[in-house]
């Protein structure tokens, strides 16, 4: 309801009078933040919007609302690679390359089994060593065979192919160079 003064002024002037009165009324009984107890400021909001607020800022709202919710405990799991994969490759014990080829549905399948087993054997022996054995790059390494899998006969055991002495950890660049006979690894 506009006062007589505001009605006479009309338009923008009337809205300024109405806002000033609303601010004066708000300042008599201001809203107080539930979290920190500070008076909620009007700033550039309408008085009705300020009256709906319960907190002075988002961080106060978060602090207040999160008190009732229990914090989730972050489980620090030190997943042991060996324990996690233990028993996963039991089917390869005592099996030859030829038997694995015959059991597998495709070339990719048996080659992938050998590759995953090679990673398991390498990581089991060198748990913390995740650097390229040639250049020392430590972001990503690939496990490769010093003597290629294709050079082994079909009657060689998978455990011979993936013997730790036949495996080396290299970065992708060094791995490519090694596979293309540019890099010569001297292992002693």
| Distances 40 to 32, 36, 44, 48, 56 between C-alpha atoms, Å | 6, 10, 12, 13, 5
Residues of the chain falling short of pLDDT 70: 1-9, 74-86, 128-129, 187-188
- Roughly how many angstroms between the first and final C-alpha of the chain, as a whole number? 95
Provide the whole-model pTM. Answer: 0.53
Give pLDDT, residue 188: 47
| Six-digit token string for 92 | 């390869």
Give pLDDT, residue 18: 82
The two most distant CA atoms of the chain are separated, in Å, by 106
Integer-rounded Cα radius of gyration of the chain: 36
Give pLDDT, residue 82: 54
Residues 6+ apart with CB under 8 A from 41: 50, 56
What's the DSSP call for residue 43?
A: T
């Amino acid at each position: 309801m506009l006062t007589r003064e505001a009605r006479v002024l009309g338009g923008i002037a009337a809205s300024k009078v109405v806002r000033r009165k609303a601010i004066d009324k708000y300042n008599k009984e201001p809203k107080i933040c539930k979290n920190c107890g500070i008076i909620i400021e009007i700033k550039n909001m309408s008085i009705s919007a300020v009256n709906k607020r319960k907190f002075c800022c988002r961080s106060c709202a978060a602090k207040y609302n999160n008190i009732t919710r229990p914090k989730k405990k972050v489980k620090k799991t030190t997943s042991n690679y060996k324990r996690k994969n233990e028993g996963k490759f039991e089917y390869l014990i005592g099996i030859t390359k030829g038997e694995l080829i015959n059991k597998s549905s495709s070339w990719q399948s048996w080659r992938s089994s050998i590759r995953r087993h090679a990673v398991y054997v390498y990581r089991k022996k060198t748990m913390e060593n995740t650097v390229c054995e040639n250049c020392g790059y430590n972001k990503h390494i690939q496990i490769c065979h010093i003597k290629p899998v294709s050079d082994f006969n079909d009657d060689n055991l998978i455990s011979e192919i993936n013997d730790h002495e036949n495996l080396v950890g290299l970065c992708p660049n060094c791995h490519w160079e090694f596979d293309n006979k540019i890099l010569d690894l001297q292992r002693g």
